[in-house]
């Protein structure tokens, strides 16, 4: 990306928050704000409009999940990457349902974190290894499948959708399916149009809700 990636960091531990801010700034990311709790995170995000919000879930008396919902409600183009000490299944699922685009645990290295922030800014879903399988396998609705828009997709479009939902780039998908990157992008655009979605994050949520990636 030619534009600097702007980031806001939300964490209730000042030393951790400041340390992450330094690590990201040292590697070329632009930290525009920090916040210690959910309400201030929402207020500051609206004022600074960061590309990525790096969000802890446990914010003392406030909930990171509630903050995610509130920020997405006000700034739908902002991407949320959770960075939490918790790898509990329910925490991960609650965050994704609220609108998070990815989830890392705090044991991630600085290199992994910087890469995850950049990929999140580009629109890719990013998960700590092991958590992606949880989300893709378990987060699904119990509602009716009648008039399912998935039935509008061709077999190849469904194949591409599965790999998009696993965070693969068009180049990697092209290599996996023995297609050209341009053909992959064509399938992605056709799928977005058929499903009335806008970007890869929404495609990923669609796939998550239907458990489309179980077959690996």
Could you tell me the pLDDT band of residue 97, with boundaries at 50, 70 and 90? confident
Instruction: Name the strands in the sheet holding 30-35, side by side, starting at the edge strand that comes first in the sequence.
Output: 30-35, 6-10, 52-55, 79-84, 102-105, 126-127
Residue 81's SS3 state is: strand
Please state, in angstroms and rounded to a whole number, the distance separating the CA atoms of residues 53 and 203: 20
DSSP 8-state class, residue 124: -
DSSP 8-state class, residue 143: S
pLDDT in tens, 127-157: 887 676 666 555 444 433 333 555 567 888 8
DSSP 8-state class, residue 150: G
Instruction: Say what the pLDDT of residue 195 is.
Output: 79
* Distances from the Cα of 147 to the Cα of 61, 126, 140, 143, 152, angstroms: 42, 30, 17, 12, 10
DSSP 8-state class, residue 58: E
Contacts of 193 (CB under 8 A, 6+ apart): none
**Quick one: tokens of 125?**
């879903």
pLDDT in tens, 41-91: 999 999 999 999 999 998 878 889 999 999 988 998 899 999 988 878 788
Q: Which domains does the chain have, with CATH numbers?
A: 6-138 (3.40.50.2300), 149-210 (1.10.10.10)
Q: Give the range with max mean pLDDT: 30-39, 88-97, 102-111, 146-155.
A: 30-39
Classify the C-alpha dihedral 82-83-88-91 as positive or negative.
Answer: negative
């Amino acid at each position: 990306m030619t534009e600097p990636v702007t980031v806001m960091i939300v964490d209730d531990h000042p030393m951790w928050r400041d340390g992450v801010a330094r690590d990201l700034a040292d590697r070329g990311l632009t930290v525009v704000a920090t916040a210690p709790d959910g309400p201030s995170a929402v207020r500051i995000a609206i004022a600074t409009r960061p590309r990525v919000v790096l969000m802890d879930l446990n914010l003392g008396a406030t909930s990171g999940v509630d903050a995610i919902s509130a920020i997405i409600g006000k700034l739908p183009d902002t991407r949320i990457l959770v960075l939490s000490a918790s790898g509990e299944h329910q925490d991960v699922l609650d965050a994704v349902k609220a609108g998070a685009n990815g989830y890392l645990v705090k044991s991630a290295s600085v290199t992994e974190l910087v890469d995850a922030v950049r990929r999140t800014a580009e629109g890719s879903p990013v998960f700590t290894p092991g958590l992606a399988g949880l989300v893709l396998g378990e987060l699904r609705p119990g509602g009716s499948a009648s008039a399912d828009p998935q039935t509008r997709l061709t077999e190849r479009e469904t194949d591409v959708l599965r790999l998009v939902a696993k965070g693969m780039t068009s180049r990697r998908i092209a290599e996996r399916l023995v297609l050209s990157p341009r053909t992959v992008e064509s399938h992605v655009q056709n799928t977005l149009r058929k499903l009335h979605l806008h970007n890869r994050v929404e495609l990923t949520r669609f796939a998550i809700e239907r458990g489309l990636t179980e077959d690996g």
